[in-house]
């Protein structure tokens, strides 16, 4: 079970830039909420608990990896919009597939060991490290 979770976490680090950082995780969630529509970067900067330079540095990694593209409004150069690329969408789909595989593995493991089975007298209130 722990190997599967570790494998998922390693895949995330290898394939999703900045996912191991708090700022990168925040950007990742913001991008997931964007779906396929462009959103103003000022919304990201304003909603973030991190400084604008920190967000810019993390966002640059997403851009460099081809997950995000930034467009500038031709009428007002101060307005910039971010949108996810097909590469980002495919990577997220692959992540969800792996995540679901881990969930299924955990369910099978719990059924096989009797965890969460009231008749066995055991519960799986296991938190990482227990």
Per-residue pLDDT of the chain (130 residues; tens, 9 = 90+): 778 888 888 899 899 988 889 999 999 999 998 877 888 999 999 999 999 999 999 999 999 999 999 998 777 777 899 999 999 999 999 999 998 888 888 788 777 765 544 444 443 333 333 3
Q: Tell me the per-residue pLDDT of 74-104, one tens digit each, with 9 for 90 and over.
A: 777 778 999 999 999 999 999 999 988 888 8
Domain locations along the chain:
2-120
CATH T-level topology, domain 2-120: Arc Repressor Mutant, subunit A (1.10.10)
What counts of helices (H) and strands (E) characterise the chain? 5, 3
User: CA 109, CA 115: separation in Å to the nearest integer?
Assistant: 8
Q: Please give the pLDDT value at position 74.
A: 74
Contact yes or no for 24/61 (Cβ under 8 A): yes
Contact yes or no for 113/107 (Cβ under 8 A): no
Q: Where are the beta strands (DSSP E) in 1-130?
A: 39-40, 68-72, 80-84
Cut 0.95: pTM above it:
no
């Amino acid at each position: 079970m722990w190997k599967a979770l570790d494998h998922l976490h390693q895949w995330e680090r290898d394939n999703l830039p900045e996912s191991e950082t708090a700022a990168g995780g925040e950007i990742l969630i913001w991008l997931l909420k964007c779906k396929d529509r462009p959103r103003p970067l000022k919304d990201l900067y304003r909603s973030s608990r991190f400084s604008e330079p920190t967000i810019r540095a993390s966002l640059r990694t997403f851009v460099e990896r081809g997950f995000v593209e930034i467009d500038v409004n031709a009428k007002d150069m101060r307005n910039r919009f971010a949108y996810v690329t097909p590469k980002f969408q495919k990577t997220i789909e692959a992540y969800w597939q792996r995540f679901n595989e881990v969930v299924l593995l955990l369910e099978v493991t719990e059924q096989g060991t009797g965890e969460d089975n009231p008749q066995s007298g055991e519960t799986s209130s296991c938190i990482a490290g227990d």
